[in-house]
Structure 1
Amino acid sequence: MPEDSPLIQSLRTAVGAAPADVPLRLHLAGLLLDAGRSEAAVAEVAVALQHAPADAQARQLMARAMGIPAGQPTPEPPRTDEPPAPARPRFDWGAAEEQVGDVVPPRFVEAPVRADGDGEPGDAGAWDVERPGRVRLADVGGMREVKDRLEAAFLAPLRHPELRRLYGKSLRGGLLLYGPPGCGKTFIARAVAGELGASFLSVSVNDVLDMWIGNSERNMHEIFQTARRQAPCVVFLDELDALGGKRGRSAHSGMRNTVNQLLTELDGIDAGANEGVFVLAATNVPWDVDNALRRPGRLDRTLLVLPPDTPAREAVLRYHLRERPIENVDLARLAKATDGLSGADLAHLCEAAAERALLDSARTGTVRMIGMKDLLAAAAEIAPSTEPWFAAARNVAMFANEGGTYDDLITYLKKRRKL
């Protein structure tokens, strides 16, 4: 395969950073086509058509890449003494959809649920509060150690109020989930809310920060006020390092004031103000979180969420393949071949395998199923996205493990021979 030009390499990097940018991906496909890389161009245009099926430029590029001249049903045969090359079969998309129509069942047919369980969603105020969901920890594949830690440190005291009162166990404090990106921290937080039968309020930095002075603090206060009105409610602070970064590193007073407001809300203005409000947070860089947020009574418990183990990888793969046409897929073998991949990596693997089968069907004119060959080939091309995180975390675990905060991380790194 010829080496890509510097421009194509740069565009590949840009597309990787913005995979949903259709014009950028089509620009890359056009350059690949001009360079004689028709198969690579077809792959890029196919992804673009998934995001924008009606895009005229994408359809024209696909026709060019597959050798179908614009405005002509079939190309003219060459006027030579040699017999003409057989015409490339044209793919009948309508027939293909009829062929696989019974393979993939209809999806997204469930009606939205209102606060009382019927009809339209209820109005919970200015913030989007999800009603008690059906996701439970049993729906989280594998990850037995994470579930046991959650049960012992967080869920068991809530389920057994008599024992809690007997031992004087306080409900104050929250839980901080940390680990590499794409490993399911948000899904685990939703499962905890499901276990508690609580509403779920997800908060990101975009929900809080505002350009006007004082508005960010007001937004933070209103979020917690909403959670108190909807109690029992799990408040999930996503990307806590952005919402509660170390104040000493922030040059903007507004950001420092927002962290101060978050500390106030976690403590509760009045005694018992946060009754029924359970705070969970997630971050990829816990070492950048303000130390005051991790003091007793706030986010004082931490839980390391690592890349999925073998049973979890099998469950994730089964989930992402459940509505795709597959045959003879050995999930146990595939799970062993994907050691070290995150949940996001596994989702990308299934997407890449489906793309290979789709493009092959388009080239040959015959619909075929996704098989182990497609999945293993996709797995061989995907490098674990967690490696850069472990490279940074290793230095923190070795030289900044104050009070044994990162003992679990050190144990994992030693087990994986990364330390």
Structure 2
Amino acid sequence: MPDEFPDTSPGPEAAESPLIGSLRTAVAAAPRDVPLRLHLAELLLDAGHGDAAVVEAAFALSHAPGNAQARALMARAMGEPAPAAPVEQPAAPVQQGGRFDWAAAEQEVGDVVPPRFARPDAKEAPLAVDGSGDAGDASAYDVDAPGSVRLADVGGMQEVKDRLEAAFLTPMRNPELSRLYGKSLRGGLLLYGPPGCGKTFIARAIAGELGANFISVSISDVLDMWVGNSERNMHEVFETARRQTPCVVFLDELDALGAKRSRTQHNGMRNTVNQLLTELDGVGDVNDGVFVLAATNVPWDVDIALRRPGRLDRTLLVLPPDGPARDAILRYHLRDRPIESVDVGRLVKATDGFSGADLAHVCESAAESALLDSARTGTVRMINTKDLLGAAKAIRPSTEPWFAAARNVAMFANEGGTYDELLAYLKKARKL
């Protein structure tokens, strides 16, 4: 209940007796003393201050709802001012059977006393399982409108683009042909490869090509400490996508969202993987128009059931950028920096095997070197080829540890030819 009470003292035109003034002082010192407040209300009512008496009786009722004296005083105060009138003849609305109409009384004093309980028809946000007030509804997930990024914005990687076009984009762009050949307008594609090679950017480009909405989902969007909330969050992601079709759901770091259940000790994570499998199957729901893309650096840690036909049944290896891609990435990261006489061709050759993130780091390091020289000499100088080649020489490609681990998998755990594409690349690059 509120600790502060409104000032109900009458204006200058309505004089009060010294006794009422003394009682007001006492009530101000002990605002929760119900008998004292009722005594003041009765004196106010006898003195003809009906409105002030209503306020005092209402506050007494808010602290003692069953107090018979408070109810009787409220009934008198709500009627015509008649100090000599008996309590049994209130002018306030009375229901059949002589019971006081509390709904009408509440309406009369609603602008003074807030309701003790929410109305049954009040529209309030539902509470979460933990009572936090965060219902975790589908609107809580960000849905990006169709973006302007297209596959043409992805530098190089022509083989990747051709495979995407043939295996994924063409059926989705031609719904009539898909229906003719019995191909449902749904799909799942797993992108895997070394970190920093543009898997997320490619996923956004696919959404742009399809003119579809885009939802990016990571482990932090789904995992919850409360039992059952993680599964519910996963369901809400797909419910949002089904309402926003066509929509691309991008599952980032799939090895965290869909780790092998045989290696998972926590029941909550196993249940989350089970829920993801259910959503991909579309049991009880229609997934037409929902395209699922997933990315991982370690596909060998993903639960095998997720790669079953009908789920994430198509796999695409995203390798470090080739020569044309490195050229485009380097030019992009140097476009707003002060450069002079930069031989991009030499730099492209010197960065073979670098990821997109590595190339960005090369440009950042070269800019840092030129900045420090300018600060030391007091003369601003441009970034040149020497800065960039020096940075490339000092940086070790972040893809090397990944290929070291992937080589063992491709050679000794290539069940069903899952990693044939990776094996072919390793042989071609002489990394075996």
- 1:153 matches 2:167: yes
Alignment: residue pair count: 296
Find the counterpart in structure 2 of residue 164 from structure 1.
Answer: 178
2:211 maps to a residue whose letter is G
> Which of 226, 231, 254 matches 1:212?
226
1:223 maps to a residue whose letter is V
Q: Map 1:56-95; keep pairs closer than 5 Å.
A: none
Find the counterpart in structure 2 of residue 60 from structure 1.
Answer: none
Find the counterpart in structure 1 of residue 258 from structure 2.
Answer: 244
Q: Whole-Å Cα distance in 2 between the matches of residues 174 and 127 of structure 1?
A: 20
User: 1:351, CA displacement in angstroms?
Assistant: 0.3
User: 1:280, CA displacement in angstroms?
Assistant: 0.1
Find the counterpart in structure 2 of residue 279 from structure 1.
Answer: 292
The answer to whether the 8 A contact 2:186-2:289 is kept is no
- 1:376 matches 2:401: no
Find the counterpart in structure 1 of residue 216 from structure 2.
Answer: 202
- Encode CA deviations 1:308-351: one digit per residue, 9 max, x unaligned: 00000001101111111111112222111110100000000000
Find the counterpart in structure 1 of residue 243 from structure 2.
Answer: 229
Give the alignment's TM-score, normalised by structure 1: 0.69
Q: SS state of the match for residue 234, structure 1?
A: strand
Q: Whole-Å Cα distance in 2 between the matches of residues 324 and 370 of structure 1?
A: 8
The answer to whether the 8 A contact 1:173-1:296 is kept is no
Q: Map 1:359-374; keep pairs closer than 5 Å.
A: 359-374=372-387
2:403 maps to a residue whose letter is F
Find the counterpart in structure 2 of residue 97 from structure 1.
Answer: none
Q: Whole-Å Cα distance in 1 between the matches of residues 185 and 424 of structure 2?
A: 29
Q: Which has the larger radius of gyration?
A: 2
Q: SS state of the match for residue 125, structure 1?
A: helix
- 1:338 matches 2:360: no
2:381 maps to a residue whose letter is R
Q: SS state of the match for residue 139, structure 2?
A: coil
Question: Which structure 2 segments of 5+ residues have no match?
Answer: 1-136
- 1:387 matches 2:400: yes
Q: Whole-Å Cα distance in 2 between the matches of residues 336 and 194 of structure 1?
A: 31
Q: Map 1:18-417; keep pairs closer than 5 Å.
A: 125-270=139-284, 273-417=286-430
- Encode CA deviations 1:99-146: one digit per residue, 9 max, x unaligned: xxxxxxxxxxxxxxxxxxxxxxxx982011111100000000000000
Q: Whole-Å Cα distance in 1 between the matches of residues 340 and 245 of structure 2?
A: 46
Q: SS state of the match for residue 174, structure 1?
A: strand
Q: Whole-Å Cα distance in 1 between the matches of residues 212 and 177 of structure 2?
A: 21
User: 1:167, CA displacement in angstroms?
Assistant: 2.5
Closer, same or farther: CA 352–242 of 1 in aligned 2, 3 Å: same
The answer to whether the 8 A contact 1:136-1:192 is kept is yes
The answer to whether the 8 A contact 2:249-2:293 is kept is yes
Q: Whole-Å Cα distance in 1 between the matches of residues 212 and 186 of structure 2?
A: 17
The answer to whether the 8 A contact 1:238-1:283 is kept is yes
Q: Whole-Å Cα distance in 1 between the matches of residues 280 and 168 of structure 2?
A: 16
1:359 maps to a residue whose letter is L
Question: Which structure 1 segments of 5+ residues have no match?
Answer: 1-122
Q: Map 1:4-15; keep pairs closer than 5 Å.
A: none
The answer to whether the 8 A contact 1:172-1:297 is kept is no
- Encode CA deviations 1:6-40: one digit per residue, 9 max, x unaligned: xxxxxxxxxxxxxxxxxxxxxxxxxxxxxxxxxxx
User: 1:153, CA displacement in angstroms?
Assistant: 0.4
User: 1:382, CA displacement in angstroms?
Assistant: 0.7
Q: Select the structure with the greater relative contact order (CA < 8 A; seq sep ≥ 6).
A: 1
Q: SS state of the match for residue 245, structure 1?
A: coil
The answer to whether the 8 A contact 2:186-2:290 is kept is no
Find the counterpart in structure 1 of residue 49 from structure 2.
Answer: none
The answer to whether the 8 A contact 1:241-1:283 is kept is yes
The answer to whether the 8 A contact 2:138-2:236 is kept is no
1:405 maps to a residue whose letter is T
The answer to whether the 8 A contact 2:194-2:319 is kept is yes
Q: Whole-Å Cα distance in 2 between the matches of residues 330 and 167 of structure 1?
A: 51
The answer to whether the 8 A contact 2:214-2:250 is kept is yes
The answer to whether the 8 A contact 1:172-1:298 is kept is no
User: 1:227, CA displacement in angstroms?
Assistant: 1.1
Q: Whole-Å Cα distance in 1 between the matches of residues 386 and 338 of structure 2?
A: 14
State the identity as a percent: 82
Q: Whole-Å Cα distance in 2 between the matches of residues 360 and 149 of structure 1?
A: 46
Give the alignment's TM-score, normalised by structure 2: 0.67
Q: Whole-Å Cα distance in 2 between the matches of residues 133 and 250 of structure 1?
A: 37
Find the counterpart in structure 2 of residue 33 from structure 1.
Answer: none
Q: Whole-Å Cα distance in 2 between the matches of residues 167 and 327 of structure 1?
A: 56
Q: Could you say what the CA RMSD is over the residues aligned between the two structures, in angstroms?
A: 1.3
Q: Whole-Å Cα distance in 2 between the matches of residues 297 and 363 of structure 1?
A: 61
